[in-house]
Structure 1
Amino acid sequence: MIHAITAPSILYLWKSRTLYIGEYPEFSPLTQGAASLLVGVDGPISITQCSSGETISGNSFLIPAGITFVLDSNGHRIANCYLDPYNEDFFRLKQAMKEQVGEIYVGNKKEIMQAAAFEKMLCHTLDQKEASSLLEHAVFPSIFEAPKRPATDPRIVEIIDFIQDDPTINHTNKAMAKRISVSEVTLQRLFKATTGIPIRRFRLWHRLFVTATLLACGRSITEAALEAGFSDASHFNHVFKDMLGMSPSSIIRRTKNMAIFVDEGALKHSLSDVG
């Protein structure tokens, strides 16, 4: 765990989820590699869907993976929770959203409670275990409110684990399809149906997660990016900007006043990936 004396922003890195709470002054398009729950902590925020140009205002949004949009925080602090790669979190949260506008879901039934929970995490600098417990009880719907979907296809679980085991390796679709005894076309179809994004984009997204974990361990941006599998700093900067809507340097400038918590499981997993 790394944390500053004051924490105007906070970042949690778990093995299956990532949560950022704080300011978001950027206005660049982003295409996330995972579904996410976006909540305005202090008040309404706005989302512009790049596919239609439509702008929606609200206090909470559920964004599917692979959707390109622009976020305007309206000067408010935001909470952006990146969900698990199997989309099980997304399925649960979708059942608690009030409406769908285009490709984005708007208005969570628990958005007031969610904003209060994120405020508590930020103001009290909860550690990762406390934050994870609060996230599960105050942010996600209960099993009674939103039953879990049927189990994820075990073949795709195997491929996700295979990619995450060593993000530095660019496994070919042919090799991965052979691993689970399907055609390349079937692999790509099943993978996107599960995660919402193509295999290559998922691999890049996971490399960003590994990079963030290594940064939290004290690596420089260049060291972390190369160890996570990016070909060079330029490649990392491009992917970072594309998926998160801001430059790596803008994040680094904030880390002096950012509390960063890395879950032990995520830390061991990431370090073994690059070890």
Structure 2
Amino acid sequence: MWKGMAAFFYSSHFTSLHSHNTIQLILDTQKDFRFKTKNSSWATCKSLIIKENILHQLDTNGSVQLIIYLDVDTKIAQSIKSKYLVNNEVHSLDLNVFHFVNSKELQQALLMPEPSILECVINKVLACLSFEIENVRTDQRILLAEQAISTTHPEDITSKSVADKVCLSESRLRSLFKQVTGVSLYRYMLWNKIWFATNQIMAGYSIYEAAIDAGFTDGSHFHKMMVKMFGISPSKFLKDNMPDNLVMCDKSPLHFETYVYSHDKK
């Protein structure tokens, strides 16, 4: 929690009808989630902005979301509100979180219990939302490739299938991907396997189950790759992400209130 802002990664839950006194941003890190307000039906979303004091429910849908709360009186909240919520209670964005940050930045924010890393990711997201989103990324082929990798089960994705999807040869895709993102396509796909496995851990899977489901040969292979790539073991990640691990980054953090709606109320 910071002054005027709070954020966390959220998974494996179906909420009751509730509201917050803040503007809420929900960005899925893997596939999509389900959402409804008190007066609307369930809808599937990739990213969403919710006005303050709107009764809603969230179904994480087996994925993991980055959720950001903003004090309505802050300048960034007012900017986002005037841009997207003038006549709407909610605003759905057909965007992948990788419009805003690359895979390594996002994964480091999830894996490392270091507030400054997450704050950097959040600031990039907010800066992009307050300006023209269309100008965030320039090469749509690479963005499409990133989306294909991040939203497909690791065992079902290959460099050839990605190349076919973006209408490039494998060699051209590898070259362009490294040029645009700064990392190799192979390394990015390995990041995604680790990302998928950590998402599974957050959703309640054991480390072994998450490793096998992500396509690693066993838990030891997952452990080795995660330590090699990010310097943290799966068990350390699990320990650092236990419930109620709240970090206060300011002496005067966000004033945050949540109200759960009871159907018995009149």
Q: Return the TM-score normalized by structure 2.
A: 0.46
Whose radius of gyration is greater, 1 or 2?
A: 2
